[in-house]
Amino acid sequence: MEHYGAKNIYLQIKRTLFVNCLEIKHHQIYGIPPNETLATIPWEDAMLIDYDAIISGKPDFKLYDSISKFLEIVVFNLSYRVDDVIDSMISGASKVVIDSQSSEDTIDKLLNISGDIVLPASRIDVAYSFTRNGGKYFISNGPIPYDFELCYNVGVALSNDKYVDVKDFPQDLIHFI
């Protein structure tokens, strides 16, 4: 019985309550702490903000692949094409934040491919069908009323067992959430 309790405590300690951000701009990586490299960065995971994909619609799959060799990455590229989400995952993304304007049909197709899709919480019109169809991840700027497994929070800190706070999330992207 005590072994089981110790295992639960270990799992609670191991669970990350926050995630740092890295950014891709003009095919360059930003956000690595001074005097660190991808190989020495003191994190296990990161939210990777791909401005190149958001602005030009061209995800930088080569950089995803390079970064994912060192970190587990949640890619925020606001993909709306099924192929881009698949390519993001093939290139090392553990989860992909999709475009908040994705059609319900596209979201359903993506969930049939992978359950590792992150939906912006502002999509009230599809959030309930998203969860009914297997969606378990959201990104929001505060608490949400939906049934979910994990929510990436870009607002005021909520660190608990279901919310992972995103440190230094770019303010210019909040309106996408």
The pLDDT of residue 159 is 67
The pLDDT of residue 111 is 95
Is 71 inside any structural domain? yes
* CB-based contact 14:46 (threshold 8 Å): no
Burial of residue 96, with CB atoms counted within 10 A of its CB: 0-12 exposed, 13-18 middle, 19 or more buried: buried
Is 17 inside any structural domain? yes
Is 127 inside any structural domain? yes
- Number of neighbouring beta carbons within 10 Å of residue 6: 10
Is 43 inside any structural domain? yes
Whole-number Å distance between alpha carbons of 87 and 72: 16
Is 176 inside any structural domain? no
The pLDDT of residue 128 is 87
The pLDDT of residue 10 is 38
- pLDDT tens-place values along the chain, 177 residues long: 444 444 444 344 444 589 999 999 999 999 999 999 999 999 999 999 999 999 999 999 999 999 999 999 999 999 989 999 999 999 999 999 999 889 999 999 999 999 999 999 998 889 988 999 999 999 999 999 989 999 999 999 886 889 999 999 999 999 999
Q: How many domains does the chain have?
A: 1
- How big, in percent rounded to 5, are the helix, strand and coil portions of the chain? 35, 25, 40
Whole-number Å distance between alpha carbons of 87 and 64: 10
Enclosing domain of residue 31: 2-171
* pTM for the predicted model, two decimal places: 0.88
Is 106 inside any structural domain? yes
Domain of residue 165, CATH code: 3.20.20.70
